[in-house]
Structure 1
Amino acid sequence: MDKRNIWSFRFTTASLVLIPVAIGINYLGKLFANILKLPLWLDSIGTILASLLAGPIVGAVSGAVNNIIFGLTADPISFVYAISSVAIGLVAGILAAKGWFDSFGKMLMAGLVIGVSVAIVSTPLNIIFWGGQTGNLWGDALFALLMAQGMPMWLASFLNEITVDLPDKLVTVFVSTIIFRRLPHQLLHMYRHDDKIETL
């Protein structure tokens, strides 16, 4: 995919329909993880799916709007992390355009890259707004342990974040890719940028 196609965003009917669908998937995943107290976020499956279908811009918009809606209706903390969701959509869309979702090994690497990228973006937010914590029970337990050991806050916060983000993004990448590959060919054609994306 060339740069013009990667970054293009037209308000087509397909794109406008995809954004609320992606938001709904994100919202349900987040609620599911919260209810079961999982050591995962599960709030970006729709974002990555949107990036696979329509590119990084649509994915980023889906992720950001999802955080705003979730912040208004369930958890105000989500507002702060809209920028993290934008990063997920952008990175996933770029990697998809470069073929990082077309094999198991590449998907594994994509999940790792997305996880590390989001941890880098989110760690300063955690420190500024929440004293280094993430709000995830499992990650915050690790953070408390590391702080008790005398580790610098920025490092304890980063390890807190990445401990949750890496497994979460690996699961998210695989789930979103499975959904993508099971979509009808006619639907994929609506979002087709080039042959490479169509055959992921």
Structure 2
Amino acid sequence: MQESTKTSLWKFKLSTAVMVLIPAAVGINYVAKALAEGLKLPLWLGSLGTFLASMLAGPIAGAISGFINNIIYGLTLSPISTVYAITSLAIGIAVGVLFHRGWFSTAKKVFVSALIIALVSAVISTPLNIIFWGGQTGVAWGDALFASMVANHLPVWLASFTDEFVLDILDKVAVAYLAFLIYRQLPQRLVQFFKD
């Protein structure tokens, strides 16, 4: 039983449903991220489609959706986004694994899942932030925290991780609950479509 659960988690079939889902998830990511940037929100929202794809079709579909979105977004609106394609890949995998293990079944579990996903995101994004942007994220209040920590002689990696993790907590909690609410409203027939 345990082995079949593992197999079904990583099973990926490029069915018609998944071929429609991935571009739809990329579109959701793209629009949500552009909206957040346009409104100068203190979060990104660019992983909503990734969450939904992972919840519906598994971690591989979510990872592909997140990765493709970052490449397209980077080529069209913000070259910075391309660098974080690997972070989006990891978010898709983390969401898919947590969802498969039942961590999106209650509001309390969704919160814990969001914290875990935020940690995964911050661990991968921090070195990228240091390599490409001197440790900053580009979000004003997070970068103010970074500057304050560096001014107090804390290591750049710690200041960068804190900057990223604080923003990721806010972003991933918002996105996780939004995805949770959307998923629960989907018709069961549609959800089953991706399970077959």
TM-score w.r.t. length of structure 1: 0.94
User: Percentage identity across aligned positions?
Assistant: 53
Q: Which residue of 2 aligns with 1:108?
A: 111
Deviations 1:143-182 (CA, angstroms, capped at 9, x unpaired): 1121111111000000000110001100100001111111
Do structure 1's residue 163 and structure 2's residue 169 form an aligned pair? no
The whole-number CA distance in structure 2 between the counterparts of 1:184 and 1:125 is 39
After TM superposition, the structure 1 stretch with the greater mean CA deviation from structure 2, 68-77 or 29-38, is 29-38
Number of aligned positions between the proteins: 193
Deviations 1:54-100 (CA, angstroms, capped at 9, x unpaired): 00000000000000000010000011000000110000000000000
Q: State the superposition RMSD in angstroms.
A: 1.0
Do structure 1's residue 45 and structure 2's residue 48 form an aligned pair? yes
Residue segments in structure 1 that go unaligned for 5+ positions in a row: 194-200
| SS of the residue 2:177 aligns to | helix
Residue segments in structure 2 that go unaligned for 5+ positions in a row: none
After TM superposition, the structure 1 stretch with the greater mean CA deviation from structure 2, 26-35 or 136-145, is 136-145
The whole-number CA distance in structure 2 between the counterparts of 1:23 and 1:82 is 12
The structure showing larger relative contact order (alpha-carbon pairs under 8 Å, at least 6 residues apart) is 1
TM-score w.r.t. length of structure 2: 0.96
Do structure 1's residue 90 and structure 2's residue 60 form an aligned pair? no
8 Å Cα contact 1:56-1:89 kept in structure 2: yes
The whole-number CA distance in structure 2 between the counterparts of 1:66 and 1:17 is 15
Deviations 1:10-65 (CA, angstroms, capped at 9, x unpaired): 11000010001101111111111111111111000110110000000000000000
Corresponding letter in the other structure for 2:183: F
